[in-house]
Structure 1
Amino acid sequence: MEASTDRFIRFIATERGLSDAYQASVRQTLDALAKWMKAKGKELREIGTDELAAFLVQRKAEGLNAASLRITTVHLKIFFRWLAAKGKLEMDPAEPLLAPRPDKTLPETLHADEVAKLLESIDPAQALGRRDRAILELFYSSGLRLSELCKARLEWLDTEEGFLRVTGKGNKTRVVRVGTKALEAVADYLRNERKELVGKKTSSHIFLSVRGGALSPDRVRQIVKERAAAAGIEQTMYPHLLRHSFATHLLEGGADLRVIQELLGHADISTTQIYTHVDSSRLKAVHKKFHPRG
């Protein structure tokens, strides 16, 4: 099982170009399956549809929600399809599996006033204030994923036109708009702080740590959380919350859903359509509160 897992991970990395994060997620699923197989005394060739279904039942009992079970099922399906295509198995035991429908949980968002409060609370005179303000401004202005911000490089930023080229899921590249306020914040950081951070190093990443290297995703999460706490934002803060807010506020402002899809880098518009439910729920709340017969 371990050798097959390693070969499959290499396949999705080199042939499919899937991200390190996705590879790690797949490995986590397959490692859990290997552990289950060992406990049951099963070899890979002995795994059928019933065994995979039993494995999923155990994962659910261990606390996986519908969305996580869906991801796990997808991992199993692509792994066993690959094994069957390679002739390692006579048939694909995962083919009959049905991925559970994900919970229809609406994305959390911040109100525009809360976003403004967060951004304006960061004093450029503070230690790393310019860097952190630029990070938060860019998250909200461009709807970036955490990985996209961490990977962003100087040569991908067009400060004159206000665009940034980013590499998203599946190593797909897209160009995002950088708004005026975010562009000003990034330019301020580049002029006044980045030169000190990079020192004698040659990193081309836009956002740097105190040691001059690229900021890690974990450190950026920590920055967002710390800055929100300092601003008095009560809601639990994480980078993707600013991406959700970006999309929701665009929709509330009248932006076309297809444009939002392109800006977010969603392959399927059904992923973007969840923000229409957020907007509708707010409209319903406003109607109920203010209409005489709401």
Structure 2
Amino acid sequence: MTPPPAASTTLPTVETLVLDFLAYLEFERGLSRNTLDAYRSDLGQYVAFMDGRDHGVLTATSEDVTAFLDELAAGSTAADGTERRPAAAATVQRKAACLRSFYRHVRREGILEADPTADVRGPRKREQLPKVLTRAEVAKLLAMPGRDGSAEPIVLRDSAILELMYACGLRASEATGLEVGDIDLEDAMLRARGKGSKERMVPVGRRAIDALVRYLRDARGDLVGGGSERALFVNARGTKLSRQGLYKIVQRHAKSAGLDDRMSPHTLRHSFATHLLAGGCDLRTLQEMLGHADIATTQMYTHLSAQRLQDVYRDAHPRAQHA
């Protein structure tokens, strides 16, 4: 059944509602730029899908929403013949969450009386523990920049990036969002801006501090030149390093280290958390350092630590191995 609009109002355009929703997420919910970009893309894809159906976005039914999610999960063929591969369950789930949030906002604004997503359930996200490096693998990765003795500015920058991300468990957006003034070299502390622009203070290990000192003293000035860039990490042109640039740096050195070159900066964050727990760090302290709003998110790493213990036990104990 088509959900009726509020009778006494003239419906605004879908474009206006999307822009209003994104403004609400940015200014009232404080969501990050990356999340806003993802929601903008998801809604654009949904609007394009609904343009080819009998109902519009504001007269959509639960069947329309379900059809959109089903098409994502199954894959499709575009008008130009391009094959769209099936989306991962986590991607479909995220888009379903975006639509639920959008329609809840539209209802709060009095535009619709019924929510077409109320009875829609996206696919269940399969529980999959993230990849974690061993301590030996981390050491191998962090040794890649400058392994040939080079002290070029880009080499010193890459070394500082890898050391800092592992030392502090930073998200990619947090690392690229750092400014020079966010680092306290004397007290070995760092100010990170996490999701929702929330700030937290994180300790920085000695090796990361040493790498930062070398980068700031011998490399960053050469990269920036006479510019006034405030970002801590810059690219070869002396401007703020992008998240895409950071991914390429991590993947390049991972490949050189003989590791999976598809690993992401988040792999270092997962490794940081798992290694701290294995070393005796308590969950509340780890939660604060990671910037998790809910400790349930941090508890995932207890499973990683347990899994690592089981792997080591099976490999080492003579009675645990298969005959």
Q: 1:125-178: CA deviations, max 9, x gaps?
A: 245211110000001000000110111011111111111111111111111111
Q: Give 1:69 shift.
A: 2.0
Query: Partners in 2 of 1:218 and 1:45 — Cα distance?
Result: 36
Q: Give 1:99 shift.
A: 4.5
Q: Secondary structure at the match of 2:219?
A: helix
Q: Give 1:287 shift.
A: 2.5
Please state which structure has a larger fraction of its residues in helix: 1
Q: State whether structure 2 residue 167 is matched by structure 1 residue 118.
A: no
Match of 1:35 in 2: 48
The TM-score, its normalising length taken from structure 1, stands at: 0.94
Query: Partners in 2 of 1:120 and 1:276 — Cα distance?
Result: 28
Q: Give 1:94 shift.
A: 1.9
Structure 1 unaligned residues grouped into runs of 5+: none
Amino acid at match of 1:59: L
Q: Secondary structure at the match of 1:128?
A: helix
Q: State whether structure 2 residue 39 is matched by structure 1 residue 13.
A: no
Match of 1:95 in 2: 118
Q: Give 1:187 shift.
A: 0.8
Pairing partner for 1:218 from 244, 250, 257: 244
Amino acid at match of 1:282: R
Query: Partners in 2 of 1:255 and 1:151 — Cα distance?
Result: 27
Contact kept, 8 Å, 2:176 with 2:241, in 1: the verdict is yes
Count of paired positions: 294
Residue pairs, 1:146-225, within 5 angstroms: 146-225=172-251
Q: Give 1:292 shift.
A: 4.5
Query: Partners in 1 of 2:153 and 2:217 — Cα distance?
Result: 15
Q: 1:72-116: CA deviations, max 9, x gaps?
A: 121111100000010111122223333443211111011111111
Query: Partners in 2 of 1:101 and 1:254 — Cα distance?
Result: 33
Match of 1:81 in 2: 104
Amino acid at match of 2:74: A
The TM-score, its normalising length taken from structure 2, stands at: 0.86
Contact kept, 8 Å, 1:107 with 1:275, in 2: the verdict is no
Q: Give 1:2 shift.
A: 2.5
Residue pairs, 1:132-147, within 5 angstroms: 132-147=158-173
Q: Give 1:209 shift.
A: 1.4
Runs of 4+ with >6 A deviation:
none
Q: State whether structure 2 residue 66 is matched by structure 1 residue 53.
A: yes
Contact kept, 8 Å, 1:142 with 1:178, in 2: the verdict is yes
> Equivalent pairs: percent with the same residue?
40
Range with greater deviation from structure 2 (94-103 or 43-52): 94-103
Amino acid at match of 2:145: I
Q: State whether structure 2 residue 93 is matched by structure 1 residue 70.
A: yes
Task: Return the index of the structure with the highest Cα Rg.
Answer: 2
Q: Give RMSD over aligned pairs.
A: 1.6
Query: Partners in 2 of 1:179 and 1:249 — Cα distance?
Result: 14
Query: Partners in 1 of 2:309 and 2:278 — Cα distance?
Result: 10
Match of 2:267 in 1: 241
